[in-house]
A and B are shown apart, each in its own frame.
Chain A
Amino acid sequence: MSAIEVQNLTKRYEDVTAVNHINFEVKKGEIFGFLGPNGAGKTTTIRILTGLLKPDEGKAFVVGYDVAKNPIEAKQCIGVVPEVSNAYIDLTAWENLTLIGKLYGVPAQKLQENATKLLKEFGLYEVKDKLVRGFSKGMKQKLLLCMALVNDPEVLFLDEPTSGLDVESARLLREKITQFNRDGKTVFLSTHNMEEANQLCHRTAIINHGKIAAIDTPENLRAQSMELQYIEVLFDRNVNIQEISKHPSVSKASPAGNKVRIYTANPSDVIEFLADFAKQNGTRILSLNTMMPSLEDVFLKLIKEKEASPK
C-alpha cells in the first residue's frame, strides 16, 4: 500500500484550474519533494491531501483512506506543518501541544510523554509555559513541527517548513525531518528550496500551472538535463566570450563574476576547445571546473519547457 496515492486530482477556483488532473504516488517511508513556483498548485494539493479542501475531480488516498470519503480516518494518520504559522498565540507551547494531542485522541499519559520528549528535542521545554505570542519565527516553526509530531503520525505533510528561518533552525528542522523518516515514516515536503529538496528527498515532483512536469529522483532529474551542465573557467585576462559561444558544443556562454560560464552537453569537447582557445589567444587558464546542473537549473528548464509547449 502506498502512503499517498493521487488519481486524476483536479481543483478549480471559478475560472482558474489550480490543480489539473494530476497523478502521483508516494511510497511508504519515502521523503517526497513537491516543487513548483508560486501559484503552481502545491498548497492546493496539500490542502486536498490534508482534508482542508474537497477535490472537484479525482481521488486522493492517504494511508489507504480516501480523504474525501473518510477524512477523519485519513487525518488520524497524518501530521501537518502548514505554510503559515498557526499555533494559538494566546496559549502556551504546552497548551498548544496538548490541545492538538487531545484532538488526535492521544491518551493522556502518552500525550504527556510525547509532548515532553518533543519539547526537549526541539529545545522548547524551558519555554513550554510561555505564551506563543512572544516566540520568534524559528521557535514557532519548531513548535509547529512538535504539534505535527505529537500524535506520532504515519505521514508528515510540510508546506515550506524552513521558509524564512535562520540557518540553525532550518538545519535542526531538516535533521528532525530526516530522523522522522529514518523511523520508516513518510514525508511529503513542499518547498521552494531546491537544495533542501536535493538534500532531503528520495523523489521529487515538479508542478507548474497545476500540472506535474516531472517526477523522479533528484539525480535522475539532473541527468535528464545534461545540456544544463556547465564549465566555469577562469582566464588570466579578459577574453572574447562571443568567440567561445560560436563553438558547436557550446549552448551558451556568459560571464559569471571574473569567470566564464559555458553551458554544454559535451564537456570534454569544450575543454579541448578551451585549451586550444587559450593557446591561440595567448592567455592561460587559471582554473576550470565542470559543474553538474543543480536541481534549480532542472526546475527552471522544466518550467520554461512547460510554458513554451502548446496547452
Chain B
Amino acid sequence: MSQFAEQLKRSLAIAKKNIKIYYSKGPVIIFGLVFPLFLALAYVIGRNIALKEVLPGIIAMTTFFTATSVGPSIVPWETRSKTLERLLCCPIAFWAIILGDMLSSFLFGLVISAIPLLLTLAFNVELLNFAALSLGLVIANLCFSALSVLLSAYPPTDIPATSMMLSSLVKFPLVFISGVFIPVEQLPEWGRIVASFSPLTYFADLTRQFTLKIGFYPIAIDFLMILIFTVVFLFAAIKLHERTLAKRIS
C-alpha cells in the first residue's frame, strides 16, 4: 500500500476515535443539535411563509452548524488531556490527524443535515435536483468541517469552551451575511460583495437553486466556490495548526 493510502487509513482511525469520544460531548450536542433545531424553529414558527420556501435556509443553516460543531473542540480537548502528544508520537502525518478531525466533523454534519434534505422529497423536488443537492450537501459538509478545524487552530488554547466561543464569533455573523435569511439577490450591492466572501453563501444559493429553482450565482460557480473554500480551509488549518503545535505541547 502506498504511503499516502496508508496515511488515509490512519486518518479514518482518528475519525472513528473522534466519533466515539466527541459526538456525545455537551458542547457538540448544544452547538450541533440543539442550536440549529431552535434556530430552525425560530425561522419557521410565526412566519407566514410556506415550508418549501424556508427549507433551503434550514438545510443551509443546519449543515453549517452541525458540520462546524465537532471540529473546534477536538484539538483543545486533546491538548488538555495530553492525548495530542500520544497521537504525535505515532507514525501518522500531521495532515492525516487534521484530516481525521475534519472527517469526524464532516460525518456528524452529513448525518444530521440529511434530515432536512430528505424533507425536500415531500415537496416534489425532481430526483435529479435531489441528487445534485445531495452532492452539494456532501461538498458543503466537507467545506464547513474544514472551516471548523481551522477555527480551533488559533489561539492554541487547551480550553474547548474558549475555542467554541471564538468559533461562534465567526459562525454567527457568517449566517447573517450569507443569504440564509435574506436571499443574495435581495441584498444591497455592498451586502452581495460581503456575502461573496462566505462559503455558506454559495451553499445557501445552491439549495435555493435545486429546491426553488431560483438563485443568484450560476450552479457551477456555487460548486466551484465551495470546493475552493474547502481546499483553502483545509490547507490553512494544517499550516496554522503546525505553526501553533509547539505551544500546545510545551
Contact = CB atoms under 8 A, between A and B. Distances in A.
Contact of A50 (B17, B89, B93): B89
Interface string A64-99: 000000011101101010101111111100010001
A52 B89 contact: yes
B250 interface: yes
B89 A13 contact: no
Contacts of A80: 86, 89
Contact of A53 (B10, B21, B81, B246): B246
Contacts of A105: 6, 9-10, 91
B86 to A, nearest CB: 4
Given A90-B21, A91-B20, A103 B246 contact: no
B92 to A, nearest CB: 5
Interface string B80-98: 0111011111111100000
B249 interface: yes
Interface residues of B, number: 25
Contact of B91 (A47, A87, A95, A103): A103
Contacts, number: 71
B88 A103 contact: no
A89 B90 contact: no
Contacts of A71: 91
Contacts of A95: 17, 20
Contacts of B92: 72, 103
Contacts of A72: 3, 91-93
A214 to B, nearest CB: 28
B89 A75 contact: yes
A91 B89 contact: no
A104 B20 contact: no
A103 B82 contact: no
Contacts of B87: 103
How many interface residues does chain A have, given as a range? 20 to 34
A80 B86 CA distance: 8
Contacts of B93: 72
Nearest to B24: A90
Contacts of A85: 82
B13 interface: yes
27 contacts: A13-B250, A51-B89, A52-B88, A53-B246, A71-B91, A72-B91, A73-B91, A75-B90, A80-B86, A82-B86, A84-B82, A86-B81, A86-B82, A86-B85, A88-B17, A89-B81, A90-B20, A91-B17, A91-B21, A99-B16, A99-B17, A102-B10, A103-B87, A103-B90, A104-B91, A105-B9, A105-B91
Given A91-B17, A91-B21, 10 more contacts: A52-B88, A72-B91, A75-B89, A78-B89, A80-B86, A82-B86, A91-B20, A100-B86, A102-B9, A102-B13
Closest 5 CB pairs between A and B? A102-B13, A86-B82, A75-B91, A103-B90, A76-B91
Interface of B: 3, 6, 9-10, 13-14, 16-17, 20-21, 81-83, 85-93, 246, 249-250
Interface of A: 13, 47, 50-53, 71-73, 75-76, 78, 80, 82, 84-91, 95, 99-100, 102-105, 147
